[in-house]
Amino acid sequence: MPVAIRWSVFVVTAAIAAAILSLLRIPAALLIGPMAAAVVFAASGRPLRVPPTLFTAAQAMIGMMVARVFTAPLFAEATKRWPLFLAAVVAVLAAACMIGFVLTRWRVLPGTTALWGSFPGAATTMVLMAGEFGADARLVAFMQYLRVLLVAVAASVVARLVSPPHATALPILASAFPPTDGRSLVATLAAATVGMLAGRAVRLPAAALLGPMVLGALLQGTGWLRIELPPAVLASAYAIVGTTIGLRFDRATVAAAARSLPAVAACLVALVLTCALMSSALVRFSGVDPLTAYLAMSPGGADSVAIIAASSNRIDLPFVMAMQVSRFALILLLGPTLARRLARWAKPQVG
């Protein structure tokens, strides 16, 4: 089949998959849909290839998207009660590390893959960073998005049981081409390019992702930049990243993911339940309501947690997001070191 026809068939398949997942309100549907379609194409022997330049540009856009989250109100919320935030963040990270350590010890997944897959950060960021640090990005993606799905389902069920949603809070999908500030968009693209090049110059790991993220956060925090990212740009970035990761799956990788599914799913369910139990302690020491504490302690999936939190007027949304973002920032700082050391400690146990 000619490459042009294969790409046409793939684009249609990926669009249908993303649309179905969106209708089912699955988190990150625009990423998971193309990734699932790409896995099917790769495993069936119909290889396609995303140009490296497109993949790099997509990572830069996701880095700027993450930078946009680091706002002054979130920092104020986190610093106001920093001992509580630090204890809660470390507790969730410790539980995730334990899950990753167990999966590594049991040899469910190779190397540091299980540890990166367990980290409760932004799933796409963890997948991209894991590949830079030698883990199998394909299996990390499998584990991360399975966790995101479990967290989203569990949080949705709990939120509906505890607090019925109010009609005006559910977010409506914005137009793909809303009114855009042209100057801010150009400045955002320029900052992403400079951040990527600077990250490579200083040999920053995952430079295409972390360089724009660091520079974007600094410029936004100092008031020099208003990050402008139209939905169409972000949708394209998610689709490119999902497609690139999915096309790396071959039949052997799909078989490995299928074999590890029972153990991985059981450990992820255990992680979700552990975080739910820890939320009771957060209720006692912070004074927030149980649903706010539960969503704040949910292991990752910050975007889906934010949507769920916005569906109830009883939830302290700044508290939830400050907790989620604080944990993500800590994982960005400690993730590579933790993954290497825990994998090294696990090796004698499995040898």
Task: Give the confidence band of 226 by pLDDT, cuts at 50, 70, 90.
Answer: very high
As given in the structure block, the two tokens for residue 153 are: 């389902």
Q: 235 with 191: CB under 8 angstroms? A: no
Domain with 304 in it:
81-171+230-350
User: Comparing 77-81, 166-170, 321-325, which segment has the lowest mean pLDDT?
Assistant: 166-170
Structural domain includes residue 339: yes
Cα 166 to the chain's mean position, in Å?
Answer: 27
pLDDT single digits (tens) 180-191: 788 999 999 999
Q: Residue 181 in 3-state DSSP?
A: coil
Structural domain includes residue 258: yes
Structural domain includes residue 285: yes
Structural domain includes residue 107: yes
The radius of gyration of the chain's CA atoms, rounded to the nearest angstrom, is: 20
Structural domain includes residue 305: yes
Structural domain includes residue 3: no
Q: What's the structural domain count of the chain?
A: 1
Q: Residue 349 in 3-state DSSP?
A: helix
Structural domain includes residue 297: yes
DSSP label of 166: P
What's the predicted TM-score (pTM) here?
0.74
Structural domain includes residue 346: yes
pLDDT single digits (tens) 90-137: 999 999 999 999 998 888 888 788 989 899 866 778 888 888 788 888
